[in-house]
């Protein structure tokens, strides 16, 4: 068994020495080798905690095993607790990780107490704010990349934020690095698809947002403990996911990777997790079912629909601004024109209305800077009549060049300050 134990020789000798010096484990070894009493009350008090699973215990090369899990001595339990909690994951994650490789009586209670009393976790116990897949901490920039199937993610330090690579599709939020014209031109030149999430709606990029939250916690807590963040990340990757019975690294690589915890080599053998796709699908369906309990479908918006835009969370102005839907740019994400500016919002942040939005027109001399020589060249060579003010049914006053018959001239294509084509009312048309 020892030669199949994934552990360094130094750590193996330490385990053997601690086991040899531990009185409880020496009594336990004698019970295992010579046989257990028929009645529990005839067992020594210090080994009585092992009686219920006596059939699972074995001794190999001086170490005690419970199945494939190493029984840890009392003197090493504090050290093992630190290693189990090295990634500062929650209680359930630590329990699932420990149950795979080590054992001692009262281990579950010890792990719960250790996690609840962790100074670093308590210092960062509040939920981290939702951020982008591009994060900055300790004046360093990191990029987060996550595999959708296995939930396996990695982060790398970015020495530059302008590096390029050949890719086929990128999903990101609207951080400046991704929303810039340079990145748009880069995507067009290298012919890859760039999908962005709706502003102020991180749920639309939930997979990355969740990975960013986890990565930020790992980085901050590792820095607070002055530990290697990649060892913490290694521990997280080897922690079984709740409800899936496999860790992210198992789902991606088909095996566990080596960690500082003493792990049986049999557990490190390549083995593809079973029913992962079905479990992931069922888990997502369950999440969708609970989410949809408090939701209702919203009708699709069409170009030209008048909407109201929900106020920005960080804005002091809580007024819902009016706007006009320009186009649909992604599933449940729309581009809206409001006050001469284009905004992108999730459908959840747009309320359809039946009101009319008045267009503000400008005189030709006011739009000369917008249209330049093109607008001036479109003007007729001579105009016999000056501009006259005409009132429409809606009460909006517009300035129209009139012909001798008092009807608006159609020789010039008029556009509003937002670039929309202006048409005369029906009762002015011949």
User: Which range marks the domain in which residue 336 is found?
Assistant: 305-352
Nearest alpha-carbon partner for 117 in 63, 149, 81, 93:
81
**Distance, CA of 107 to CA of 99 (rounded, Å):** 9
Residues 6+ apart with CB under 8 A from 242: 92, 93, 96
CB count within 10 Å of CB 135 equals 20
- Measured from the Cβ of residue 191, the count of other Cβ atoms closer than 10 Å reads 9
Dihedral angle over CA of 264, 270, 274, 276, nearest 10: 100
Contacts with 12 (C-beta within 8 Å, 6 or more apart), sequence order: 2, 5, 262
Distance of CA 387 to the CA centre of its chain: 57
Instruction: Give me the chain's average pLDDT, please.
Output: 74
The number of C-alpha atoms within 13 Å of 263 and in the hemisphere containing its C-beta is: 21
Assigned domain for 312 exists:
yes
Which residue has tokens 């997502």?
284
CA 429 to chain centre: 56
- In which residue ranges of the chain is pLDDT below 50? 127-134, 360-411
Q: Does residue 360 sit within a domain? A: no
pLDDT the model gives residue 110 = 92
SS3 188: helix
pLDDT score recorded for residue 291? 67
Q: E strand or H helix at 63, and its extent? A: strand 63-66
- Domain assignment present for residue 290? The answer is no
Strand partners, 194: 170
Decide: 71 and 64 in contact? Cβ < 8 Å: yes
* pLDDT tens digits along 92-102: 889 988 888 88
CA atoms within 13 A on the CB side of 344: 15
Which CATH number do you get for residue 329?
Answer: 2.30.30
For residue 119, the model assigns a pLDDT of 82
Query: 3-state SS of 229-260?
Result: HHHHHHHHHCCCCCCCCCCHHHHHHCCCCCCC
Rounded Cα gap, residues 60 and 12, in angstroms: 12
Specify if 315 maps to a domain.
Answer: yes
Query: 3-state SS string over 323-343?
Result: EEEEEEEECCEEEEEECCEEE
The per-residue pLDDT for 375 is 36
Total domains in the chain come to 1
Q: Inter-axis angle of helices 9-21 and 23-34, to 10 degrees?
A: 90
In a domain, 57, yes or no: no
CA neighbor of 305 nearest in space, from 319, 320, 330, 323: 323
End-to-end CA separation in angstroms for the chain: 98
Cβ neighbours of residue 285 under 8 Å, at least 6 residues apart? none
In a domain, 368, yes or no: no
For 25, list phi and psi in degrees, rounded to 5: -70, -30
pLDDT score at 201: 62
- Nearest C-alpha neighbor of 127 from the set 70, 206, 210, 6: 210
């Amino acid at each position: 068994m020892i030669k199949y134990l994934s552990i360094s020789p130094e750590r193996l000798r330490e385990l053997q020495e601690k086991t040899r010096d531990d009185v409880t484990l020496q009594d336990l070894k004698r019970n295992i080798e010579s046989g257990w009493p028929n009645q529990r009350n005839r067992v020594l008090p210090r080994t009585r905690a092992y009686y219920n699973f006596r059939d699972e215990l074995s001794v190999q090369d001086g170490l005690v095993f419970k199945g494939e899990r190493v029984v840890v001595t009392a003197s090493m339990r504090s050290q093992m607790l630190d290693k189990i909690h090295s990634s500062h994951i929650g209680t359930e994650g630590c329990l699932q990780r420990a149950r795979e490789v080590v054992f001692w009586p009262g281990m579950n209670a010890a792990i719960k107490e250790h996690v609840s009393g962790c100074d670093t976790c308590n210092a960062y116990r509040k939920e981290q704010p939702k951020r982008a897949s591009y994060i900055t901490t300790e004046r360093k920039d990191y990029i987060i990349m996550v595999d959708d199937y296995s939930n396996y993610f990695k982060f790398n330090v970015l020495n530059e934020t302008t590096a390029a690579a050949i890719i086929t599709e990128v999903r990101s939020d609207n951080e400046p690095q991704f929303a810039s014209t340079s990145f748009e031109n880069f995507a067009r030149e290298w012919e890859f698809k760039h999908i962005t999430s709706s502003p102020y709606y991180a749920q639309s990029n939930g997979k990355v947002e969740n990975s960013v939250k986890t990565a930020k916690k790992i980085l901050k807590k590792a820095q607070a403990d002055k530990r290697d963040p990649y060892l913490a990340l290694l521990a997280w990757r080897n922690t079984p996911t709740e409800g899936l019975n496999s860790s992210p690294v198992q789902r991606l690589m088909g095996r566990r990777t080596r960690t500082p915890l003493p792990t049986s080599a049999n557990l490190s053998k390549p083995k593809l997790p079973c029913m992962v796709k079905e479990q992931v699908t069922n888990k997502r369906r369950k999440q969708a079912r609970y989410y949809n309990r408090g939701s209702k479908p919203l009708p699709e918006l069409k170009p030209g629909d008048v909407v109201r835009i929900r106020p920005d969370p960080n804005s002091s102005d809580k007024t819902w601004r009016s706007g006009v839907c320009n186009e649909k740019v992604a599933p449940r994400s729309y581009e809206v024109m409001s006050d001469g500016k284009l905004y992108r919002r999730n459908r959840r942040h747009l309320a359809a209305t039946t009101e009319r939005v008045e267009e503000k027109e400008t005189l030709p001399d006011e739009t000369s800077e917008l249209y330049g020589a093109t607008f001036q060249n479109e003007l007729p060579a001579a105009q016999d009549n000056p501009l006259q003010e005409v009132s429409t049914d809606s009460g909006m006053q517009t300035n129209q060049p009139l012909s001798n018959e008092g009807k608006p001239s159609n020789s010039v294509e008029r556009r509003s300050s937002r670039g929309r084509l202006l048409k005369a009312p029906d009762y002015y048309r011949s």
